[in-house]
Chains A and B, each alone.
Chain A
Amino acid sequence: MSNKLLKIEDLELSFKMYEGLSYVLKKINLELHKGEKVALVGESGSGKSVTTKLILGLLNQKNVTKKGKIIFNDKNILNLSQKEFKKIRGNNISIIFQDPIAALNPVFKIKDQFYEVNLNNKPMSKKESFFIASKALEKVSIRDPERVLESYPFQLSGGLAQRVVITMAMINKPELLLADEPSTALDVTIQNQALDLMHDLTQETNTAVLLITHNMGVVRKFAEKVYVIFRGVIVEEGTKDQVFKNPGHPYTKALLNSIPKLTNNQLPKFDEDSPDYAAIAKYTHR
């Protein structure tokens, strides 16, 4: 078997809207090897979140047109039935969302939500599930896992809830973890902890990660390979060093420039009519 885990080939996606067809993804190509940490960077509306939804088979509305291939473990999963997807989700591919409190169901205790995920893997009793969950939470340095498991999501702080969500996503040892802005809703120090935790857990199980973010600082800390997406087109790809030391595309440069630097004493200047912006626009209509 090859080392390739996920390969996206010429993926196109459009939504049928009242105003007509809206093209969201335009021939995207992307590759992930086993255990690799890859970042997909772009701003709101660039199509990064819908990519994760397509990989998980969550876009099946009537107004969605999709073309191309998503090959996961040598099998095209783009048009699988929901029944087959159910086996993959949570076991082979899992996801972490941006807002941990919103990702957890507010009316169920954490232990019941773990039970649901554990059942997905194999049949077991509630007691067994509680034991497995508390062992897993202990490992992510949560001191009192029993209390956390007996809590409702609103009783947890943001950082704690995110650790619970990460643990939940990793409990069935998936081969691929999709992380959709896992740290944007968190404070800087807690953001760092969450990224470290994700790194450690995925390293242990050799899980590949597709990190979706708009923050180049987070990318630099976490990823090995970077794809930059802009209005549905991948405008740049390369290793971390290449992209950060030698950004080729004007949009990548704009992304890097827009972050206030510790070494500077004034904000990066932004001119919407600068020639760079015209250059970026050219890439989007092809």
Chain B
Amino acid sequence: MIEVKNISKKFIIKSNIVQALDNISLKIEESDCFAIVGESGSGKTTLANIILGIYNQDNGEVWLEDSLLSSNRSLNLRKLIQFVQQNPMSTLNPKKTIYNTISLPLKIHKIVSNDKISDRVEKLLSYVGLDAEFMHRYPDTLSGGQKQRVAIARALASEPKVLILDEPTSALDVIVQSKVLNLLLNIKNKFNLTYIFITHDLSVVKNIANRVLVMNKGKIDEFGKTMEVFSRPKSDYTKTLIRAIPTVTDEEDEIKPK
């Protein structure tokens, strides 16, 4: 589905050079739930931004099926990869109603004809479990979980094939988190989407992803099937990450690497 070949990216801040990504290559298959794990500054968001086309890479290529993705790609390619960000409070425009927020991608990508937009927005809201009543409300009247649902509906509007989820639940309460994650899984199955799931919460990864990429300082630290990475972590860094997970039962403590 998506193939990343030898991507490197560095940022120059004053006179310091920060190597955000160092020769990364990976393949994401169709209908994967592909998790990218690592702590702040490990380069996971930079990688996502390059796949989205927000940044241009220094070298390397990104392929989506048969098309090469550059940072100035056509609308047709742009709509296939959509993005859900971490903080739902700041990703929704406070001056726009939910209807305006969700209908914008419908208009830009000309998904439906103008007279059908309202129906379509209602349908998108129903996918994420919100009533049509929400259409005419403003973001500040919504709770955190509801805002995140709106952000997911907006991402679905352009009928993408790939969703990049950048820490979609880390700003939410545990119970709301579990509801939103379940919603995401249902949507993935319904529309046969491919997920790139960026997070630092490994217990979520264990339960949702089928493949994991562990990143550390711009390099690939470990990569493999979720079961294998968790049962037999190879690198010390992955072990530290797994050990750091806050757990609630003794059984979980027992399977952590010593």
Question: Chain A residues in contact with chain B, CB under 8 A?
Answer: 43-44, 157-158, 187-192, 214-218, 220-221, 244, 254-270, 272
Contacts and interface: CB of A to CB of B under 8 A. Distances in A.
B39 A190 contact: yes
Contact of B203 (A220, A261, A266): A261
B207 interface: yes
12 contacts: A187-B200, A189-B244, A244-B248, A254-B175, A258-B174, A258-B175, A262-B247, A263-B249, A264-B207, A267-B178, A267-B208, A270-B175
A265 B39 contact: no
B144 A44 contact: yes
A189 B38 CA distance: 10
A188 B200 contact: yes
Interface residues of B, number: 38
Contact of B240 (A189, A220, A266): A189
Nearest to B248: A216
A263 B248 contact: no
A267 B207 contact: yes
A260 B248 contact: no
B39 A187 contact: yes
B251 A263 contact: yes
A189 B245 CA distance: 8
A189 B241 CA distance: 6
Contacts of B174: 43, 214-216, 255, 258-259
Contact of B255 (A157, A262, A266): A262
Contact of A187 (B40, B185, B207, B251): B40
B78 interface: no
A217 B248 contact: yes
Interface string B195-211: 00000111110111000
B207 A266 contact: yes
